[in-house]
Copies of this chain bind each other. A is one copy, B any other.
Amino acid sequence: MKVSKGRYFEDFAIGQHLVHAVPRTLHGGDISTYISLTGDRHPLAASTELARSFGFQREVLPDLLVFHIVFGKSVPDISHNATANLGYADVRFLRPVYPGDTLLSESEVIGLREVSSGEAGVVYVRTRGVNQKGQEVLSFVRWVLIPKHDKTAALGVNQVPALPSVVTVDRLPVPDVMNLQRFADLAWAMPPGDYWDAYAVGERLDHPDAMTIEEADHVQATRLYHNTAQVHFDQLAMTGSRFGKRLVYGGHVISIAMALSQNGLGTALRIAAWNGGVHVSPTFAGDTLRAFTEVVEKVEFPHRTDVGALRLRLQAVKNTTAAELPSILPLLSGTKEPRIVLELDFWALLPRAAPTL
């Protein structure tokens, strides 16, 4: 078959290894385009000199841009026919990616579970992003609901991988090259935020800004990542769907929410890991997103006095004013309230305040 229509549930097997087309060289211009499409103000991505001051070779690609590129390439092989993107686990951002680097994406099938109706199944994959030197830069597990081609064929598979609900501190990647000793001198260069020390467990940040998503914004972003999922691109087919319109790629929602969160967490210099994430309700062009973050946990690193990690729960709601926010908060977590579009549980790395002598 020269033409690919994607895999169905019965096309997957435990241990199957897939290397995804097409390797992608990232340019400085990808950072510009990403800023233009999302409003990202990631300090390490924005400035060569700033990144160098903290030990990096030069400016780094935004963490989420790296995620979207690696994820996007896996779509044609893994989730082209998926009816739901069910979850993420053990997402670890292992190494900085620089302009000029080329990313390759590959996946291994690590679990398969037939659903009770027998018409579909859940496929679990471990996907890895690897740079041109063969170094792993990103690793994550995701699971998706995939229909069967032959809905009557009972396969009887039920092999669910053991997955960590949280990336424990010993497995949180902190780049060796990163050194935030000089942070105090450069604090002026950051979007609003503070030192790791200043955030308290249980604290909630209501990020004050909002962003309306245009149809052209999300399709351009999704194409940038070589993501070919038709639910984002084929209006003709989506008119006949239960949504009546194209869906915004969930990763674009994460990027917008994360960019909004930079007003309050602008000092979160690097995403270390995601523990999990749920796209609670779908997002469409014309929706206006607003975000807020809760501090869930704080950890220090042995042998590192310059950096600490915050476990954060980032949530995005749509078409809700700041005034309406209090009424929506009791509904969060576990509900399917249609105004809630995202819950992302992740670890961010922040500078620690220098000890006062």
Contacts and interface: CB of A to CB of B under 8 A. Distances in A.
Copies of the polypeptide in the assembly: 3
Given A25-B59, A48-B100, A102-B47, A194 B2 contact: yes
Contacts of A4: 192, 208, 263-264
A288 B99 CA distance: 34
Interface residues of A, number: 81
Given A102-B48, A216-B215, A246-B212, A207 B22 contact: no
Contacts of A25: 28, 46-49, 59
Contacts of A31: 27, 29
A206 B47 contact: no
Contacts of A22: 41, 43, 46-47, 50, 189-191, 266
A120 to B, nearest CB: 20
Interface stretch (A139-147, A224-232, A340-348): A224-232
A228 B49 CA distance: 23
A5 interface: yes
Contacts of A193: 2
Interface in A183-211: 188-194, 198-199, 205-211
Given A209-B230, A234-B288, 19 more contacts: A2-B205, A4-B192, A4-B263, A19-B189, A21-B41, A22-B47, A22-B266, A23-B49, A24-B46, A29-B32, A32-B224, A36-B37, A46-B226, A48-B102, A209-B233, A210-B233, A210-B237, A215-B216, A216-B217
14 contacts: A21-B188, A21-B266, A24-B46, A36-B224, A37-B220, A39-B223, A47-B102, A49-B132, A210-B230, A210-B236, A212-B219, A212-B246, A214-B215, A236-B319
Interface of A: 1-5, 19, 21-25, 27-33, 35-39, 41, 43, 46-50, 59, 76, 99-100, 102, 104, 132, 188-194, 198-199, 205-212, 214-217, 219-221, 223-224, 226, 228, 230, 233-237, 246, 263-266, 286, 288, 319-321
